[in-house]
Structures are given as structure tokens and as C-alpha cells.
A and B are shown apart, each in its own frame.
Chain A
Amino acid sequence: MSIRKILAYAAIGISSAIMFIPFLTALFNSLKTVGQFNKYPPELFPDPIKWSNYSEVWELANFSTYTLNSLTVSVLSILGAILSSSMVAYAFARLQFPFRDTLFMIVLGTMMIPGVVTIIPQFIIFKQLGMLDTLMPLWVLEWLGQPFGIFLMRQAFLGIPREYEEAAKIDGCNPFQIYWRVALPMCKPSLATLAIFTFMAKWNEILAPVIYITTREKYTLPVGILSLKGQWTGGNDQYLVAGALISLIPILIVFLIAEKYFVEGARSSGLK
């Protein structure tokens, strides 16, 4: 093996360890008893291993409600992103209409523009619509098409051969039918990427729930777990860590199953 390869292995090996070890120490902490958690100096391994921290925090902290809220927001966002972004993207990819290219430049432009100026007026709009303290502001905009999804799906539609769509057109399908029955089923990998990226964004989102949700029962997981920190004082650290790690499990499973789509999504997001 060349020196170059040994160096490369060393760099990646050390860096992988640095990435992983904090998760391991957090996992160990989540399995400690209160008594062991508060020992000084700290001990690395939990002894005895208290698995019940996980079931206890689930019961104590209303976790089923937070999980249900997170799932609602994620599922509705994914559906919205898949349906609306792909439909808009299809029109940009295949149909001729006035100002099409200008509008697409605007789509690209809005990806580069910082979202900060729209936060306050959006809050006011959602207030006027009576949607404050509901889950709606957390997912409803996904149904109106997002620049990243439009960009990703447009690339996908441009990559499929035209012949199938031409054939459908001759058979008398209208553009929506062609998009829905012919083009969309051919873009499943990009749809998967979009779905997974939307899931990751929504499952982990903190800013929107912090702004829009005030009732504890409507919190999503990341915000719900945070709120426990203020609610529980001292002696509950092992529960908080366990709770945080519970919220990682669904996205970790999806990630391990569909790793390539995560990487694909990351790349596409860099293309913007």
C-alpha cells in the first residue's frame, strides 16, 4: 500500500471515529441510572444497563403525541412536495408557456436568496388565516411547490426520453395525464430523493415549530424534547438523552435503508 493510501485511511479513520464517538458516549449516558449519571468523575460504561430509561421517558414526556405530530407534518409535507413540485417541474421541463424561462430563472434565484425577510410577513399571513398554534404552517407551503424540488424534478423529466410522451399525446392524453401516467412513474429515483430530503428537513425542523406552536401538545419531537429541559430540573439528564436518541431512530432507519438517495439529494442541493 502506498503512503498516500495509508494517510488517506488514517485521516478518514480518525475523522470517522470523531464523528461516531460522541453518539456512543451519549448512548452510554442514556443507559445509566440517575446515581451513576451524577457520579464524579464520570464513568464511561453504564453499570447496570438501564434500558427502561427509554420506555420511562416515552411515558413521562408525552412522546406519542410529539411523534404523531412529527409524523403528521412529515407525511403531509412529503405528499405535498412530491405532488406539487413534480407537477410544476413537468410544466417547466416540457410545456411551452409565456415567460417560462424567466420564471425558471426566478425559481433558481429564490434558492440563492436568504429566506430571512419573509419570516415575519409569513407569520402575519398565517395569523390572518387563523393557523397559528396549528400544525398547518409547518407543512402547507410544501403543497405550493419548493424551488429545490422543482429544480430536482425538472432535471429528472429532462432526462427521460421524449418518445413515450409523444406516443401518449398521439393517444389523446392531455398534458396532465401525460405527466401523471407516463412521465412521473419514470422518475421514481428523483421522487425518492425529494421525499427523503423533505422528510429530513421536516423531521428535524426547529425554527418553524418554535415560531408557530405555543401549545405543548402540538410540539413536534425536536421542540418537545427541548421543552423538557426547562420543565424538568436536575436529575433527569439520562431521560433527556434517551428522548433525543429516540427521535433519531426513524430518520436513522430511513437513512440506512436509502443511503444513496440521501447522498444524491445532498449533491442535487449543491447544484442549486
Chain B
Amino acid sequence: MNQNTQLTGEWKTDERPVPKPRKRKRLDSEGRWGILLISPYLIHLIVFVAFTSIASLYISFTDYDMLNPPEWTGLANYSKMIDDPLFWKALKNTLYFTILLVPIKTALALVLAVALNQKLKGLKLYRIAHFIPVISSWTVIAYVADSIFNPRFGWANSLLVSLGLEPKNWLADEQLVIPVLVAVAIWKGVGYMMVLFLAGLQNVPGDLYEAAEIDGAGPLQKFWRITVPLISGTTFLVLILSTISSFQSFEQIYVMTAGAVDGVAGGPNNASLVLMLHLYREGFTFFHMGYASAIAWVLFLILFVFTFMQMRLQKRWVHYD
């Protein structure tokens, strides 16, 4: 069983022949043990997944401040959202952040993985270097990034000044805040994605490249004609997972933009307000639980439609063999 078939969504199966459906009404001993052993997860599923999902859908149709009982208001929260300029700003910022982040990070991760797959010496050392940002909390990353992007003592401005350019305000600049956040997110996350691609690459059979070389293919041709199609399963998965997670970005923006200008995360002037941050403010700062739940459902639906469409579209570009 290699990594690649797992990546395509096939997993190991129980090899035993499936017993014919038993007509006994009572559970046999094995069945009872099975239910008993999975019972923690059943509780998780029923209380913390099924119940919470239904509850949040219900709350999204109510006015609920957690002190008084929820009051049914129908679609009021959703129509409020349509008229809420901050919601639209947050949606726009989230899209901008995601569209900038996901393709660049994916491309860089792929290039690095291909480079790392050339049987280089010191592979472990390179992997460690690329994984240190991955294992760091966003708090650590925020202070480390501060040594580069702080307008006062950061090295980015020293570099600009030494080149005779104007220093920038970076995270305190409405135009620059999202690009800087994206740069830092790439820096933190590219190593993780690189490892995923590396696993995919190790399953590409070497004889394919040899055959292509005999046919006179150059390195670029080999990359586009062999590597890219053969790891498209990994690419598909990586794109979906990283889109879902960057659409729900919260920690990075909460940590890195707090106090950048006015002490309120999402600044300056809401230029880095993303949907999760809007949800957090509405829910946990103002206790507008109904409205926050409505935002959660809209976010969920966007991601659901995106994932569903990708699943349908994957046949066009994802090669499984």
C-alpha cells in the first residue's frame, strides 16, 4: 500500500470476507463490544457535531445574547448581513487573502519539494529548517516576523532605506497589511505543504523519467508532463485543505494585527478584517450569537459549495492510476 493510493482516498480495508447480513435482531457480543468501544466518539458525534450544527442553524434564525432566551427573528440576521458593510469588507478581505495565499504557497511548496527530491545531501537539515516555522505558534511567529516588519526596528525597512527607498508601515498600512500577512503565512506554512508534496513525489516511479529521457525530454518537459500530472492527486487535496483553512484564518490575523495601529485586531481601519474575525467580534465581543451563527453558516456554505465544485471538477485535471 503506498502513500499515493491513500492520498486518492482509498484506505486500507479489513481483509476479512464480509459476513452475510445476520438476521438476528439482538446484537452479538462482538457488536456490543464494537458499540461500547466507539461510544466516546458517538457522544462526540451526537453532542458536539450533530447537535451543535443543528443548534447553530437554529440560533442563526434568532436574536440571542446568552442572557435572555433566544428570540425567533426568521431571516433577520441574514438580511442584516446583506446590509452590513463590515461583512462585505470581511468577505472581500478573506477572498483576497485566500486567492493570494493558496496558489503562491502551493507553487512554492511544489518547487521546493521537487528540489528536495533530487537526492540532495543534508535533506534532514533542510527539512528541519522548513519545519521550524510550522511547529511555532502564531504568537512566536508574530514576534519573529516583527523583527523583520516592525516599522521602527524591523530589517525590511533598513533594507529599503539602504536601497534609497521610502520605509513602509507594513502591517499598519491599509494597502500592505494583507500582502504582508500572506507573505508570513507562506513562510510559516510552506514547509508543511512541502512535506505533503514530497510524500506524493516519492511515489512517482523513477523509470518514467528514464523513459522520458530516452525520448529526449528536457527537465521542464519532465516536470510538466510527468511530475505535475502524477502528483495531481496530492495537489488537489492540498488545494482543498489549504483553501478551507485559509478561509477560516483567525489566529494569525488576531495575533499579528492586534495593536498594529489601534489595538483592535483586523486593523488598520478593518483592512485585515476577515470573516472569522468578524464572527469572533460579533459573537464573543458583542454577544450577538444569532448574527455570529448566521455568519458561520454563510462561511460554511461558501466552503461547502467550493469543495463540492472541486470534487466535481477534479475529473478534468486530477489523474488517478
A residues touching B (Cβ–Cβ < 8 Å)?
A: 4-5, 7-9, 11-12, 15-16, 18-20, 22-23, 25-26, 28-29, 37-38, 40-42, 84, 87-88, 90-98, 100, 103, 106-107, 110, 112-125, 127, 141, 143-145, 150-151, 154-155, 158-159, 174-176, 179, 200, 203-207, 210-211, 221-223, 225-226, 229-230, 237, 240-241, 244-245, 247-248, 251-252, 255-256, 259, 262-263, 266-267, 270-272
Contact = CB atoms under 8 A, between A and B. Distances in A.
A96 B30 contact: yes
Given A22-B148, A270-B238, A112 B307 contact: yes
Contacts of A95: 30-31, 33-34, 37
B300 A117 contact: yes
A25 B155 CA distance: 9
A20 B129 contact: yes
B269 to A, nearest CB: 20
A19 B109 CA distance: 13
B97 to A, nearest CB: 16
B191 A19 contact: yes
24 contacts: A11-B112, A12-B115, A16-B125, A84-B40, A90-B37, A96-B19, A97-B38, A116-B299, A117-B52, A117-B297, A118-B48, A124-B66, A175-B33, A205-B137, A226-B255, A248-B137, A255-B128, A256-B128, A266-B134, A267-B196, A270-B234, A270-B237, A270-B241, A271-B11
Given A11-B112, A106-B45, A114-B300, 17 more contacts: A16-B129, A23-B144, A103-B38, A116-B299, A117-B57, A118-B56, A119-B279, A119-B283, A144-B44, A145-B44, A155-B11, A175-B34, A206-B139, A210-B280, A247-B139, A248-B136, A262-B131
Interface stretch (B174-182, B243-251, B313-321): B243-251
Chain B CB within 10 Å, residue with most, of A12, A94, A252, A262 = A12
Contact of A244 (B38, B115, B142): B142
Interface of B: 3, 6-7, 11-14, 19, 27, 30-38, 40-41, 43-45, 47-49, 51-53, 55-57, 59, 66, 111-112, 114-116, 118, 120, 124-140, 142-148, 152-155, 158, 161, 187, 190-192, 195-196, 199, 219, 234, 237-238, 240-241, 244, 247-248, 250-251, 254-255, 258-259, 263, 276, 279-280, 283-284, 289, 292-293, 296-297, 299-300, 303-304, 307
B143 A210 contact: no
A84 B41 contact: yes
Contacts of A107: 41
Contacts of B43: 144
Contacts of B289: 120, 124
B115 A8 contact: yes
Nearest to B51: A121
Nearest to A226: B139
Contacts of A144: 40-41, 43-44, 48
A41 B157 CA distance: 10
A267 B195 contact: yes
Contacts of B56: 117-118, 120-121
Contacts of B143: 26, 225, 240-241, 244-245
A145 B41 contact: yes
Contacts of A98: 27, 31, 35
A100 B116 CA distance: 41
A110 B46 CA distance: 12
Nearest to A5: B118
Closest 7 CB pairs of A and B: A97-B34, A204-B137, A144-B44, A91-B37, A145-B41, A95-B34, A121-B52
Contacts of B137: 203-206, 221-222, 247-248
Given A37-B153, A143-B40, A116 B139 contact: no
Chain A CB within 10 Å, residue with most, of B44, B114, B139, B142 = B139
Contacts of A270: 7, 195-196, 199, 234, 237-238, 241
Contacts of B118: 4-5, 8
A98 B31 CA distance: 7
Contacts of A205: 137
Contact of A116 (B112, B187, B195, B300): B300
A176 B128 contact: no
A204 B158 contact: no
A267 B199 contact: yes
Nearest to A158: B12
B115 A88 contact: no
A97 B47 CA distance: 21
Contacts of A116: 248, 276, 279, 296, 299-300
A127 B66 CA distance: 10
A97 B31 contact: yes
Chain B CB within 10 Å, residue with most, of A95, A143, A145, A200 = A95
Given A22-B144, A222-B137, A259 B124 contact: yes
Contacts of A155: 6, 11-12
Contacts of A103: 38, 45
Contact of A16 (B52, B111, B126): B126
Contacts of A25: 144, 147-148, 155
A112 B111 CA distance: 26
